[in-house]
Amino acid sequence: MRRRWISAAAIGLAGILALGACGGGSSGDGGGGGGQSTSQKRVEVFSWWTGPGEADGLKAMREIFERQNPNFTFYDAAVAGGSGDQARALLSSKLQANQPPDTFQGHAGAELQGYIKAGKLEPLNSLYDELKLKDVFPQQLIEQITVAGNIYSVPVNIHRSNILWFNPKVLKDAGIAAAPKTIDEFIADLEKVKKSGKIPLSIGSQWTQVHLLESVLLGSLGTDAYNALWTASADWSSAEVTKALENFKKIMSYAGTPQEDWQPAAKQVADGEAAFNIMGDWAYGYFHNPPDGGLGKTSKTDFDWVPSPGTDGTFMWLSDSFTLPKGAPNRDGAIAWLKVAASKEGQDAFNPLKGSIPARKDADKSLYKDYLAWNLEQWANDKLAGSIQHGVVANDAWRTAINDAVGLFSQDQDVAKLQTALADAAKASGQ
């Protein structure tokens, strides 16, 4: 399964910079122009890991880094807010000014495409060879992050997009014995829930509808045909895509009132107001974690999960990763951080706290419980497909065009117009 997303025309750094700079100043020590020895020792790690769980995971990796590298000083340049949007905006302004951090977080895949084509990243092939990462990362993952023979990021974790979350009691009350396995079963179950008086499907803001669309496309088309949509031979105008979009329209007809974001939509399921929600596996932490950071619900009782309908056997993935910018002030320090991020110790320290699973195949399985244990097994055995919404298969310009098309569709419900818009977006990408 070889997905040549680099064949799409790069949006270039100028396209990425359309986000604009976010707020004041560079992330320095707070003073101007520290001594050269300080800048040589300090390692600026730029991320958006500031929330519960992810900040704890970053701290755990930092402790490993500092223990292994006493000659370097870790500098946490994390930027809060916007699921990384604010961080990427500030990052773009820094790269434009040729003031890169030593390393920065980004979603592995097409999200990095503009930086690569603009010459802002160094390939990491030698690091992969040194650490034998091609032996410990799944071959399918290596194929999907390889760009013209080069690899530019180190995946730290793996999240899964194609999960159907459901409330067991709501399903039972609607006469549904088990969660749906196919798109047709899903539509039939949505109708049963509707007749029971509960919300069949909860949704959030517009991006969550694109998140839903990617699972419906995968479940309708199958893995190979879905992956082919992101290659030069893709046919977005096919009858198969038409059917998939008709399925999307039908499924959306059962959706409740759109909530402000994914959390209140997920909460409707946990509270028994809605039956189903398709969301990434970060929802598990929200359902499961204590009330100070989650809902404090009990898995298999208050909520449960299966692969989204039609996608069993395929893992729709996304990944937080770290890069090596060209011109990094402390290149050696950045490489030292990448080694921790790539390591079994680093990934096993980070992921149980973050609520994700490691990219490595040799994880300590005893550290991953409940949903994470199930997902780790799935990751080891499933086929892979990349997320649209979360940066794997479409660069920022392409993803924005898809979001715009779905936004218009939510108003007019015109499948033909949606399919034309998606086909046009693929052509504009240079695919």
The percentage of residues in the chain with a pLDDT greater than 90, rounded to a whole number, is 77
State yes or no: pLDDT of 27 exceeds 50.
Answer: no
pLDDT value of residue 39: 54
Structure tokens at 213: 């669309």
Burial of 290 (0-12, 13-18, 19+ CB in 10 A): exposed
**Position with higher pLDDT, 19 vs 402:** 402
Q: Kindly calculate the radius of gyration of the chain based on its CA atoms and give it in whole angstroms.
A: 21
Placement of tokens 């695919």 in the chain: 431
pLDDT value of residue 7: 35
Placement of tokens 């993952």 in the chain: 141
State yes or no: pLDDT of 24 exceeds 70.
Answer: no
State yes or no: pLDDT of 393 exceeds 80.
Answer: yes
Structure tokens at 257: 């009132």
Query: pTM for the whole thing?
Result: 0.84
| Mean pLDDT, all residues of the chain | 89
State yes or no: pLDDT of 269 exceeds 80.
Answer: yes
3-state secondary structure of 146: strand
Among 257, 276, 171, CA closest to 216? 276
Common-topology check for domains 13-22+36-158+319-381 and 160-316+391-428:
yes
Structure tokens at 381: 């055995």
**Contact 211/389 with Cβ under 8 angstroms?**
yes
Q: Tell how strand 42-46 and strand 103-107 pair up.
A: parallel
State yes or no: pLDDT of 348 exceeds 90.
Answer: yes
State yes or no: pLDDT of 256 exceeds 90.
Answer: yes
d(CA 335, CA 293): 33
State yes or no: pLDDT of 11 exceeds 50.
Answer: no
pLDDT in tens, 70-97: 999 999 999 986 557 788 889 989 999 9
State yes or no: pLDDT of 242 exceeds 50.
Answer: yes
Among 198, 148, 151, 152, CA closest to 173? 198
Instruction: Name the pLDDT band for 40 (thresholds 50, 70, 90).
Output: low
pLDDT value of residue 81: 61
Placement of tokens 């900040």 in the chain: 55
Q: Please state which architecture CATH assigns to domain 13-22+36-158+319-381.
A: 3-Layer(aba) Sandwich (3.40)
What would the mean pLDDT of 320-346 be, rounded to a whole number?
97
d(CA 162, CA 165): 10
- Give the helix, strand, coil percentages of the chain, each rounded to 5: 50, 15, 35
CA distances to 207, 215, 356 from 314, in Å: 22, 11, 17
d(CA 90, CA 302): 40
Class of domain 160-316+391-428: alpha beta
Neighbours of 139 (CB within 10 A): 12
d(CA 221, CA 223): 7
CA distances to 26, 60, 83, 297 from 79, in Å: 11, 18, 10, 29
Structure tokens at 48: 């958006």
pLDDT value of residue 16: 36
Structure tokens at 322: 């770290």
d(CA 209, CA 266): 13
Domain layout of the chain by residue ranges: 13-22+36-158+319-381, 160-316+391-428
pLDDT in tens, 213-225: 999 999 999 999 9
DSSP tag of 10: P
What would the mean pLDDT of 306-335 be, rounded to a whole number?
97
Q: In what order do the strands lie in the sheet with 314-318?
A: 159-160, 314-318, 383-386
pLDDT value of residue 88: 81
d(CA 308, CA 306): 6
pLDDT in tens, 133-164: 999 998 989 988 999 999 999 999 999 999 99
pLDDT in tens, 202-211: 999 999 999 9
pLDDT value of residue 181: 98
State yes or no: pLDDT of 405 exceeds 80.
Answer: yes
**Contact 77/334 with Cβ under 8 angstroms?**
no
pLDDT in tens, 223-236: 999 999 999 989 99
What would the mean pLDDT of 182-198 be, rounded to a whole number?
98
Structure tokens at 265: 């939509």
Among 105-109, 322-326, 411-415, the range scoring the smallest mean pLDDT is 105-109
